[in-house]
Amino acid sequence: MRPMNRALMTIFATAALATLPAPLQAQGAVRLGLGGGVTLPVGDISETTHAGVNLSASLTWNPPRLPVGFEAAATYHNFAPKDETVRNERVMALNGGITIPIAGTLGQPYLMAGVGYYNTQGPATGPVDAERDFGGYGGVGLRFNTKKFQVHARAGFHEIFAGKDVAGRSRSRELIPISFTIVL
């Protein structure tokens, strides 16, 4: 199955889980989130691109008896090139991790951390069409509750564990997504 088809299947599966009957949603608190924002490139990607946009679909679960929550997300980052003769840089990711609530006075702040699988396409990959690498992320979020949904404001740091380039030089691929998500 092609990577884009896998991403679409993930989004459709996420949407299907969001339609669970109300009694099941109340017991497990599995919630669907859709969001977007700006992504700041760092490292090798920043040499050839400007800041970009991100889109995300996520599932969150906050078990009532555990001190942590769990999340899974599919994200798409698109960066405009500095040199307009080359194509855009794209990073698609599947991430999973935990959220840890912390004390705060505004909303419900939390820490987040996890691991992911990243597919990078564009000038930063050099002669290779696409590179697939593992990575990790961490960050902070702020959750606001309304009667029908939650709003999350998040900022994270993603480190993609890219290998060496053809010259044997270590590569550095980091992303700083700043996003807003509506969680149903």
Find the helix or strand (DSSP H, E) in which 110 lies. strand 108-121
**Can you give the pLDDT at residue 14?**
53
Percent of the chain with pLDDT over 70: 80
User: Which neighbouring-strand residues pair with 74?
Assistant: 57, 94
Under CATH, to which class is 3-183 assigned? mainly beta
- Rounded to the nearest integer, the mean pLDDT of the chain is 84
pTM over the 0.85 mark: no
What does the alpha-carbon distance between residue 169 and residue 163 come to, in Å, rounded to a whole number?
9
Judge whether 175 and 77 are in contact, CB under 8 Å.
Answer: yes
pLDDT band at residue 13 using 50, 70 and 90 as cut-offs: low
